Structure 1
């Protein structure tokens, strides 16, 4: 039976797959965060030393080259620095528009080390006169200059790059967590599906007996349990069939002897009634023990089946059948078993639901189809106009060998009528509801998935 949406959401939240996935994801995220933090701390000092040494080296070499070169060659030297080294040198003017250096964790330590080597008056900037770069000032005699390095030469990974790499690692980690969760959850999902199929009367395929020891042993135990239960079911059917044959043969002889015996009419009718009841009880045992195989399910016209069953029941002298059956109701099932269920419900109503003050039992049979497409449902209702059942005892009706004679009047039988109905309907994955009818009587409702 399909779970309601709220229950499906709850099952997703509490499912083993999602628990494992979120735990692995949280572990991976925590580990990655700690790794990034550790790398940042460990890498900080070496990166500061490397960038500071590079800046000091470039400024020192440029200063020496300009100082010791001939004035007529300085223009060519500056061109070489720009074209080959990406280094530009500009005069520092008082009206230069200077922006502060980049605000990051490395810059304060870089400034400290560079100023210790080049002088406390060394200035830094991230943009001068609208031109972005890594700007450092230096002096030649009494003149001040700007030396601009390309940012790419002195910067490490930016925050965006760190975020990009972290995103890639996170996605890969989450995919790995999903894969690992699927591997962990797959055997349990197979076991759950096999258990559900077995509960619905299907014979599940044997679970693979391989993998980790715990999974292998669980699957082997489940397969053995299925085989054992199938054998028990088969043995029970054989035993009951044998009992039926062994009991019905002497019952037939007793019936014949009663017919031929010199008895009064009352005695003969009483004995014939007792023999008929014993034969009916044997039939109930066989119906209850008979398995309903899902492999035998076909497209059943529920509307026609109900109409035929109601027509047959209307021939009984003490029954009046009222029908309200929607046409075109189809469902997958075993037609013989569904008809047996409806007959059991009619017989249950005939025996126990006699209308007070009347010798005729009035039974209503209704069938409706509601919903659209995959959500279509067939609702079958069989109700009588009797005394009903005390509400606190309704649940007892579906238990085997239970008869509520105090509520429904005296009747003979093994108490398996509604138990057979519940057993067959559960194999058809249908919903069975029992409640008292408004106005008196018992209402039994069956809800099946429609085609």
Structure 2
């Protein structure tokens, strides 16, 4: 099974989750801003009218009380206003230190309404002689007075209060957006994790078939796909076993009959060669179709494995092997499959790497460890000294049933050797690079993460 193009869970969260969260946050912020603007517009005039009416009422009542009270009782009346109502009345003196009226969004409307009722000469101040309050002037006969109201009696929501409420609403909105985004992306996170498990060769847990109809249908289809893949794997195992038995049994019987038949040595060797070639082709098909189980991966001493494969190749009469193998290079993988990969590469070099007019194939096997961006990587090199491959056709080498006979000489086989290598290495998370060797021949390099 090939790797599935799966987006990692972290990447998914940093993409769709935050995009959904951002859009919900923007929508909430704009809605809240529109709501605050609407409340401000709708509430401004009624609130200004209410405060203006209160100021006018207090000034009018105070003016009437002072005007109609006996002069000897005015002092007592002023004391009572201060102690019970929080209202202070002081004479307005020319030398009073007066600060401007409070600067807020309601003040212009309040000033206009109060002056409309009390007269255009009415003055307003936020602080008189260092005393803070809401100060309004009025006249009794020809005398001017200050009337001070406590700010709390006419104060609406301050900017800090608006900011506090807005911050609280924003925080709750963001928490709600995060919760909604998580709820929306949870099914996708489960689906991504299950797809990653399949890509890693592990059976995923069945996805819950609950929630919205779209999620139910997607999870049900995915679960059905997993069951179908499991059935395909089971059927393939049965088919592979059947191929091995049904094809190799007749070949073994033919081999026996050839041995017992009265044939010339040349005829017997030719038939035996054909039978061996058929058996090798069947072996290639089985190797290509056989899955690599990632659950069987363990630390493999690739240095020792390469040394063993090189020693076996040296026993062949038409092969000369040179080795440059670093010690103690370990990778994670299946030792049997990696041994098959190395043997396939050596066999490919033996078949196609003969120099023109020569009877000996020179093969160089190398292994070294290098750190790349802080990660240790193992580099495995297998090179021959043959004619090489045209650069435009190198990528074709990894395709099944492909043999570059025009460039590499005639050879027997189904053209699955490098395709098997590519398939096994793909499941090992390794990189396979093919290029022509300087000086002639093909250079095949495998790059794997060090264990």
User: Alpha carbons of 1:407 and 1:120: their partners in 2 closer, same or farther (altered >3 Å)?
Assistant: same
Preserved contact between residue 237 and residue 286 of structure 1 (Cα < 8 Å): no
Question: Residues 102-133 of structure 1, C-alpha deviation per residue, up to 9 Å, x if partnerless?
Answer: 33321111111111222211111223334333
Partner of 2:281: 281
Alpha-carbon offset, residue 357 of structure 1? 4.6
Matched, 1:204 2:204: yes
Report what 2:377 is aligned to.
377
Q: Which residue of 2 aligns with 1:269?
A: 269
Residues 63 and 245 from structure 1, CA distance in 2 versus in 1: closer, same or farther, beyond 3 angstroms? Answer: same
CA distance in 2, matches of 1:161, 1:147: 27
Pair 1:40-2:40 in alignment: yes
Change (3 A) 1:143 1:287: same
Alpha-carbon RMSD: 2.6
After TM superposition, list the pairs within 5 Å mapping 1:225-236 onto structure 2. Answer: 225-236=225-236
Q: Tell me how far apart the structure 2 counterparts of residues 289 and 237 of structure 1 sit (CA, whole Å).
A: 9
What is the correspondence of 1:167-186 to structure 2 with a 5 Å cutoff? 167-186=167-186
Mean CA deviation greater in 266-275 or 124-133: 124-133
Distance in 2, Cα, partners of 1:82 & 1:323: 105
After superposition, residues 54-69 of structure 1 pair within 5 angstroms as 54-69=54-69
Q: Deviations over 1:221-274 (max 9, x none)?
A: 111112212212221221122122122122122222323333333322222221
- For normalisation by structure 1, the TM-score amounts to 0.90
- Which SS does the other structure have where 1:371 is aligned? strand
Secondary structure of 2:381's aligned partner = strand
User: SS in structure 2 opposite 1:276?
Assistant: helix
Gaps of 5+ in 1: none
Instruction: Judge which range, 337-346 or 259-268, deviates more.
Output: 259-268
Who is 1:365 aligned against? 365
Q: Distance in 2 between matches of 1:299 and 1:49?
A: 83
Please give the residue correspondences for 1:68-107 in structure 2 after superposition, counting only pairs within 5 Å. Answer: 68-107=68-107
The aligned counterpart of 2:333 is 333
More off after superposition, 299-308 vs 51-60: 299-308
- Of the structure 1 ranges 403-412 and 197-206, higher mean CA displacement relative to structure 2 is found in 197-206
Q: Which residue of 1 aligns with 2:125?
A: 125
Q: Contact (CA 8 Å) 1:284, 1:414: kept in 2 or not?
A: yes
In structure 1, C-alpha distance between the alignment counterparts of 2:96 and 2:335, rounded to whole Å:
96
Residues 376 and 90 of structure 1: is their aligned pair in 2 closer, same or farther, counting only changes over 3 Å? Answer: farther
Deviations 1:391-448 (A, max 9, x none): 2222222222222212221111111111111221222222222232333322222222
Offset of residue 305 of structure 1: 2.4
| Deviation by residue 1:63-118 (Cα, 9 ceiling, x = unmatched) | 33433445455444444434443333332221223232233321111111111222
Write the distance in 1 (CA, Å) between the matches of 2:324 and 2:125.
90
Q: Tell me how far 1:282 sits from its aligned partner.
A: 1.0
Once residues 61 and 368 of structure 2 are traced to their aligned partners in structure 1, the CA distance between those partners, rounded to angstroms, is 95
Paired residues, number: 446
Using a 3 Å threshold, how does the CA distance of structure 1 residues 330 and 128 change in structure 2: closer, same or farther? farther
Query: Counterpart in 1 of 2:419?
Result: 419
